[in-house]
Amino acid sequence: MIGIAMAKNTISSPSTRSKALMNLIRHILKFRRDLFIVLFFIYCLALSYEFKITNVYDLYDSNLITVLAIILPSLLILDVGLRDEGRSLVAYVIVAATLIAWFVGEIRGVFVIVVLLILLYHFSKDNPRKGVFVVLASIALLVTGLVLCEGLLNLLGASSTQVVFISGVSIFVVLLWRRT
């Protein structure tokens, strides 16, 4: 927004330097979404160093809320950034909620519910139909697979095997939607 405001201001001033600055801002704005996706890329890689989960089956007992509190806002931020809607209410709410939840550990559950509601509201703007089915089917596939293969995967030091299993399910999902 600051960029747009600056661009608007510089339009009115006729100097060559201002015009050059305006062009620079225009170019930056044009590649804003590309810049965003690169930043998101770095953010995700940095995030994966911050949290450690050794066993996916222990998730329900201890870390599920934390994982959801990180993954759901990340996806929401990704979608808001890609849509490039400018001043989105969702973006402000997420930032505010993240800051509160970050400092007050006890209300993380409430934070996850709020984010989930925002997520549903945000994606409802797409009028989704088939997409909802794809998301639910993919999650169900992963959960069912993990439950069915618990005997094979829930072992001490089997986190690499669990990663391989999740990546296998992901490849299956990719192949499924590529065909549709």
Partner 1 sequence: MRREEILMLLAFLLFVHGYLLQNVFPALLAFSIVVYLAYIRSEFSPNIEAERRIDSRLVEGTRTISKLKLRNLTNKKLRIAILEDSLPSGFESETPPPFILDGREEREVEYFIIPVKGVYKVRGPRIRITDLRDFYYADFVIDSEVEVEVYPSLDKIKEEAKVEENIKLATTYQKMLLGLQTMEIHSLRGFQLGDDTKHVEWKATARLGELIVKDFLREVESDVYIVLDAGREMRKGVKNSKVDYATTLALQLVYALRRYKVGLIVYDDFGVKYRVEASKSPEQIEKIARSLNISPIHSDLLGVKLPEISFKLSEESRNFLRRILPVFRRKGFATGLIEVMSSLPLMTFLIFIPDITAHTNELIRVLSEFKNKHKILILTPNPVLFYDESKLDRETLLWLYKRYIEREEFIKKLNKLVPTLDLGPSDLLDVIRGALE
Q: Taking CB under 8 A as the rule, which mask of x and - marks residues 68-107 in contact with partner 1?
A: --xx--xx--xx--xx------------------------
How many residues contact partner 1, by CB under 8 A? Answer: 55
Question: Residue 139 interacts with partner 1 (CB under 8 A)?
Answer: yes
Helices (H), the chain: 2-12, 16-30, 32-50, 64-83, 89-103, 108-124, 130-148, 150-153, 159-179
Binding residue for partner 1, selected from 28, 107, 113, 174, defined by CB under 8 A? 174
CB 131 within 8 A of CB 139: no
CB of 3 to partner 1, least distance (A): 19
* C-alpha to C-alpha distances, 49 to 39, 66, 73, 162, nearest whole angstrom: 16, 15, 18, 18
Compare residues 37 and 95 and give the one whose CB is closer to partner 1: 37
Question: Residue 22 interacts with partner 1 (CB under 8 A)?
Answer: no
